[in-house]
């Protein structure tokens, strides 16, 4: 979770009145953030990634001004018509097709403020940009370069410039192989034949997105005018990050100017800070919150959350500021009403119906299986349902079509797992320094595509176990796999030799119950062991337990 330090002196300046540490500690959590720690002159908060506008003290202060009723309603920001132009070359389309820009003039920066800007940039690169894969930010000293600018693609060794934190000129290829930022983020450009570059009219390099800026446009305490670029794979994401940035700079005292971005097939004037329009039902709001608020009261709650209200009636016409990237559905507006109303004003009530609880059949079966595995000497582990495609398929030497995450926070978690064995192998890989033998299991959900399901996917309860030591093999793991079935009272099971890419040929069997395949057992292939950097042999089995639920 991202964190932010709220300094009492700065927050008092932004709020327009004095605020103490104690008051800040008391009021901030009602915005939906957590207090991480408190000092003599600051409060450190942890905020949800769905509120990227909280990535700066200015963003939190903007929300607090409304919640504390210092200033309510929709914030208004003026974007003057600017003369800066950026031209987009078609060569970037297959690599990183979108770019939006902005100009901020008249900033007064010091060392502390520059550090805050860098931290905000990094937070937005993570929360919206998904570690720069979807969008990345470049901040430049506008006075060091000469527009118009050009966003185009170059060959790996076609151009040379001095990147930040270096003293010598380097090519894009050299940056990816040598520069710390290049090594960290080069996977984003993996497979690209050309790399994106932003240059000015004299060919000076501003940025090699999403990797590193040029030293030429480094921001210092003497910088007064900023040029901002955001490049990425989704226009919505880069636009949202730009809107958050420029409104924050405006709250710092900067003047905003638009930039004309000329694409081959269209022209954008950005930033566009026009609010989006939404309709909110009074009936739905009261039903979900369990309240009886009048339209005027709902409007007041929304205005406290810095939203605009144009029409008040059975349905409210709501204006959402451009920096609120998180508003996606009517229920998000209802949440804003709840926060504006004050969670502390909600009265707890008992449920209107009385029911007798029963243990969920899935949980009942899971607990039974856990006891059996523990009885066999296994130790339980719990891993994330979010998984990594490379580990689950390439490492296991199999192909598949898993449920993919549309906007993964990082490349580490880009799918929902479709098997438990890769998760257990990763646990073994992370614990090679521990004593052997290592004998672990997991009972949990896997997720597979299902066109008939409402969500397009379904969850299945699986059990998997692995054991590793110097003599681990097929016979040992098969005896455990067979013992589990016996203890579960399963009859009519068979083990039939089979070939599977993840297992050693001749040391693998599929498990059938009443003629239906419910799992696999075997000795993991040496190439798979090598992929997970495992040194000892590993025996593994995995069962789909759904047949037991259907039987019960």
Q: What is the pLDDT along the chain (552 residues), one digit of tens a residue?
A: 789 999 999 999 999 999 999 999 999 999 999 999 999 999 999 998 889 999 999 999 999 999 999 999 999 999 999 999 999 999 999 999 999 999 999 999 999 999 999 999 999 998 898 888 889 999 999 999 999 999 999 999 999 999 999 999 999 999 999 999 999 999 999 899 999 999 999 999 999 999 999 999 999 999 999 999 999 999 999 999 999 999 999 999 999 999 999 999 999 999 999 999 999 999 999 999 999 999 999 999 999 999 999 999 999 999 999 999 999 999 999 999 999 999 999 888 887 777 777 888 888 999 999 999 999 999 999 999 999 899 999 999 999 889 888 766 666 788 899 999 999 999 999 998 888 999 999 999 999 988 888 888 889 999 999 999 999 999 999 999 999 999 999 988 999 999 999 999 999 999 999 889 999 999 999 999 999 999 999 999 999 998 888 765
Q: How many helices (H) and strands (E) does the chain have?
A: 16, 28
Domain covering 276-345 assigned CATH 3.30.56.10 in the classification:
yes
Do 3-67 and 276-345 fold alike per CATH?
yes
pLDDT at 355: 79
Token duo for residue 468: 């590793």
Q: What gap in Å lies between CA 298 and CA 337, rounded to an integer?
A: 6
Token duo for residue 390: 């490379």
Q: Are 536 and 469 in contact (CB under 8 A)?
A: yes
Nearest to 102, CA basis, from 243, 234, 210: 243
CB atoms within 10 A of CB 97: 17
Q: Are 407 and 236 in contact (CB under 8 A)?
A: no
Provide the residue ranges of all domains of the chain, joining segments of one domain with +: 3-67, 79-270, 276-345, 361-551
Q: Are 438 and 532 in contact (CB under 8 A)?
A: no
Q: What gap in Å lies between CA 489 and CA 332, rounded to an integer?
A: 48
User: What CATH number labels 3-67?
Assistant: 3.30.56.10
CB atoms within 10 A of CB 539: 26
Q: Are 175 and 163 in contact (CB under 8 A)?
A: yes
Superfamily of domain 79-270: Phenylalanyl-trna Synthetase, Chain B, domain 3 (3.50.40.10)
DSSP string, 248-298: HHHHTTPEEE-EEEE-SS-EEEE---PPEEEEEEHHHHHHHHT----HHHH
∠ Cα 129 60 56 (to 5°): 45
User: What CATH number labels 361-551?
Assistant: 3.30.930.10
Q: What gap in Å lies between CA 500 and CA 49, rounded to an integer?
A: 41
Token duo for residue 60: 């939190």
SS3 content of the chain, % helix, strand, coil (to 5): 35, 30, 40
Specify the pTM: 0.75
pLDDT at 220: 96
Q: What gap in Å lies between CA 343 and CA 80, rounded to an integer?
A: 39
């Amino acid at each position: 979770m991202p964190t932010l330090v709220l300094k009492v002196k700065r927050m008092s300046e932004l709020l327009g009145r004095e605020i103490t540490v104690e008051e800040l500690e008391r009021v901030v959590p009602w915005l939906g953030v957590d207090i991480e720690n408190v000092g003599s002159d600051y409060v450190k908060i942890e905020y949800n990634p769905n509120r990227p506008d909280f990535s700066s003290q200015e963003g939190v202060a903007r929300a607090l001004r409304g919640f504390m009723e210092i200033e309510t309603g929709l914030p208004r920001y003026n974007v003057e018509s600017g003369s800066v132009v950026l031209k987009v070359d078609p060569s970037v389309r297959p690599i990183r097709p979108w770019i939006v820009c902005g100009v901020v003039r008249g900033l007064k920066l010091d060392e502390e403020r520059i550090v805050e800007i860098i931290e905000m940039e990094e937070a937005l690169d993570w929360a919206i940009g998904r570690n720069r894969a979807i969008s990345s930010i470049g901040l430049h000293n506008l006075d060091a370069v000469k527009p118009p600018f050009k966003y185009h693609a170059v060959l790996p060794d076609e151009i040379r410039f001095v990147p930040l934190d270096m003293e010598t000129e380097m090519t894009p290829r050299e940056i990816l192989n040598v520069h710390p930022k290049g090594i960290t983020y080069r996977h984003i450009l993996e497979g690209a034949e050309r790399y994106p570059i932003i240059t000015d009219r004299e060919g000076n390099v501003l940025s090699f997105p999403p990797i590193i800026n040029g030293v030429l446009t480094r921001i210092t305490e003497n910088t007064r005018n900023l040029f901002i670029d955001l490049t990425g794979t989704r226009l919505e994401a880069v636009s949202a990050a730009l809107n958050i940035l420029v409104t924050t700079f405006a709250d710092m005292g900067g003047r905003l100017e638009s930039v004309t971005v000329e694409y081959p097939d269209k022209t954008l004037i950005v930033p566009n800070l026009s609010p989006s329009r939404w309709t909110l039902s009074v009936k739905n709001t009261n039903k979900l919150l369990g309240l009886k608020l009048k339209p005027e009261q709902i409007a007041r709650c929304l205005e406290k959350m810095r939203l605009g209200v144009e029409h008040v009636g059975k349905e409210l016409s709501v204006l959402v500021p451009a920096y609120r990237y998180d508003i996606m559905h009517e229920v998000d507006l209802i949440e804003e009403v709840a926060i504006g109303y004050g969670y502390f004003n909600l009265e707890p009530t008992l449920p209107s119906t009385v029911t007798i609880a029963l243990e969920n059949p899935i949980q009942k079966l899971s607990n039974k299986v856990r006891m059996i595995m523990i009885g066999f000497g296994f130790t339980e582990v719990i891993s994330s349902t979010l998984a990594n495609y490379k580990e689950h398929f390439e490492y296991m030497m199999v192909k598949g079509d898993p449920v993919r995450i549309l906007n993964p926070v990082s490349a580490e978690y880009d799918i929902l797992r479709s098997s438990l064995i890769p998760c257990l192998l990763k646990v073994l890989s992370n614990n090679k320094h521990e004593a052997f033998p290592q004998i672990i299991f997991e009972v949990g959900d896997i997720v597979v595509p299902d066109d008939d399901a409402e969500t397009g996917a379904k969850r299945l309860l699986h059990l998997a176990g692995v054991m590793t030591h110097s003599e681990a093999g097929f016979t040992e793991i098969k005896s455990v796999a067979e013992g589990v079935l016996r203890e579960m009272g399963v009859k009519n099971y068979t083990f039939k030799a089979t070939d599977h890419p993840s297992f050693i040929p001749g040391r693998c069997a599929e498990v059938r119950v009443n003629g239906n395949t419910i799992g696999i057992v075997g000795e993991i292939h040496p190439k798979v062991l090598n992929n997970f950097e495992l040194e000892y042999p590993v025996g593994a089995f995995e069962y789909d337990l759904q047949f037991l639920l259907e039987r019960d």
